[in-house]
Structure 1
Amino acid sequence: MKPLVFITGASSGIGRALAARYHAAGFRLALVARRGAETEAWAREQGWPEADWRVLPADVADIDSITAAGQRCLAEVGLPDVVIANAGISVGVDTADAADLAVIARTFATNNVGMAATFQPFVSAMRARGSGRLVGVASVAGIRGLPGHGAYCASKAGVISYLESLRGELRGSGVKVVTVVPGYVDTPLTRGNRYGMPFLMSPEDFADRAFVAIRAGVSYRVIPWPMGVAAKLLRLLPNAVFDRLLAGRPRKRRQGE
């Protein structure tokens, strides 16, 4: 039987590109998306045999919803070889505005709790089998905090640390934990940005490189690599220099802007 990949956030952007890349590599697809009907229509447009894919509608920010999707995958499709927790949101925030506290809570519910809830149904079964890939999509925005982008930066920093912890927990089990760290990818999530995006890449290019990294079972990979070098240099800057460098930088659009 063909191997199986479970992908969240499969309705657009990186998730959709990863689905296409994995199908091209001979995988069956379990695709999780809030917009289930839209995702099913897209899969049919690709001309793929219906035996090769299944759409599992779910909201990653809702623990019961996403864990139920995982349990349904196990019961109806099988135990995945690869689970990719890709779903995420990115909205600018201003801590002085009380309304943005709800945005921060929703960001963490989706990007952090949602990632753990995506993996949870599969961890024990993968450990018992002695193989598998648990893949979390982080961001270079998690390496340093950007003004006006506190919710997203903090959530992605949390993703990086969470995956590092999970990797240690599963060491020696045969289950690999892979942290994929995108730079700027041309998706609906980034198109509204009001600032320059160096090394901007297409979702398809990103998916090709991520597929290679995941297949190799690397623990951590920044894509593209020049963005990783830039991020490491930013991490080394003294705070005073970093703060001056970002002074006046346009901020992420807030909800409703």
Structure 2
Amino acid sequence: MAPLAFITGASSGIGQALAARYAQAGWRLALVARRGAEMAEWARAQGLPPERWRVYAADVAEIDSIVAAGQACLAELGVPDVVIANAGISLGVDTSLREDLGVLARILAVNNVGLAATFQPFIAPMRQRGSGRLVGIASVAGIRGLPGHAAYCASKAGVIGYCESLRGELRGTGVRVVTIAPGYIDTPLTRQNRYGMPFLMRAEDFAASAMRVIEAGRSYRVIPWQMGVVAKILRALPDPVFDRLLVGRARKQRHTD
């Protein structure tokens, strides 16, 4: 039987590109998105045989919703070989404003709690089987904080920290935890940005690179590699130098923009 990939946020952007890449490689797909009907329409448009895919409509921000999707996948399709927690949202915030605290809470609910809830149903079955890949999609934005990006940067730093902790917990079980930190990828999300995006990468090219990293079971990788170099430089910069570099940089749009 063909291997199985469980992918959240599969209805657009990086998630859809990853779904297409795994489909091309002959994998079975468990596709998770809030808009289940649109997801199913996409799968049919790709010409995928019905037995090769299943759609689970779920809201990653709701723990019971995404856990139920994972449990349904286990019951209907079995234990996946790869679980990719890709669903995420990004909005600028100004936490001096009371209304933006709700936006912060929503981002953390999706990007952090939702990621852990995506993995939860599969951890014990994968450990029992002695194999599997749990893949967290982080971001280079999780490496250092950017003005106006507090919620997104905090959430992606959280993804990196959570996946590192989980990796240690599963060491020796045969289950690999893979953290992938995309740089700027050309998706509907990034097209709204109001600032320069160096080393912008096509989603299709990102998916091809990410699949190789996942198959190899790498613990952490920045894609594209050029942004990995930038990330190392950013980590090494003293705070005063880093702060001066950001003076005048455009901020990410808030929910009211």
Structure-2-length-normalised TM-score: 0.99
SS at match of 1:146: coil
| Partner secondary structure for residue 6 of structure 1 | strand
Q: CA RMSD in A?
A: 0.5
Quote the Cα distance in structure 1 between the aligned partners of 2:100 and 2:77.
39
Q: Deviations for 1:193-246, whole angstroms, at most 9, x for unmatched residues?
A: 000000001110000000000000000010001101001101111111111100
Q: Give the secondary structure class of the aligned counterpart of 2:134.
A: strand
Aligned pairs (5 A) from 1:66-145: 66-145=66-145
Residue 244 of structure 2 corresponds to which residue in structure 1? 244
What residue in structure 2 maps to residue 208 of structure 1? 208
**Which runs of no fewer than 5 residues in structure 2 stay unpaired?**
none
| Identical-residue share of aligned pairs (%) | 74
| 1:24 corresponds to | 24
SS in structure 1 of the partner of residue 190 of structure 2:
coil
2:185 is aligned with what amino acid?
V
2:224 aligned partner? 224
Q: Is residue 56 of structure 1 aligned with residue 56 of structure 2?
A: yes
Which ranges of structure 1 fall in alignment gaps of 5 or more residues? none
In the TM superposition, what are the counterparts of 1:170-189 in structure 2 within 5 Å?
Answer: 170-189=170-189
Please give the TM-score of this superposition, normalised by the length of structure 1. Answer: 0.99
SS at match of 2:252: coil
- 3-state DSSP of counterpart to 1:196: coil
Aligned-residue offset at 1:256: 2.0
Q: Whole-Å Cα distance in 1 between the matches of residues 110 and 203 of structure 2? A: 21
Q: 2:100 and 2:256 mapped to 1: Cα distance?
A: 11
* Distance in 2 separating the partners of 1:242 and 1:155: 20
Give distance in 1, aligned partners of 2:157 and 2:150: 10
Could you report, residue by residue, the CA deviation over 1:26-51 in whole angstroms, capped at 9, with x for unpaired residues? Answer: 11000000011011001100111000
Paired with 1:68 and 1:170, the residues of 2 have a C-alpha distance of 23
What are the Cα deviations for residues 131-170 of structure 1, in whole angstroms up to 9, with x where unaligned? 0000000000000000000000000001000000000000
- Helix, strand or coil for the counterpart of 1:255? coil
Distance 1:117 1:54 in 2: 19
Q: Distance in 2 between matches of 1:117 and 1:212?
A: 25
Mapped to 2, the partners of 1:36 and 1:92 lie a distance apart of: 27
Q: Distance in 2 between matches of 1:212 and 1:29?
A: 17
Q: Distance in 1 between matches of 2:119 and 2:4?
A: 15
What amino acid sits opposite 2:71 in the alignment?
Q
Cα distance in 2, alignment partners of residues 163 and 239 from structure 1:
26
- Point out 4+ residue stretches in structure 1 off by more than 4 angstroms: none
Tell me the number of residue pairs that the alignment of Structure 1 and Structure 2 aligns.
257
Q: Which residue of 2 aligns with 1:235?
A: 235
Cα deviation digits, residues 84-126 of structure 1 (max 9, x gap): 0000000000011100000000000000000000000000000
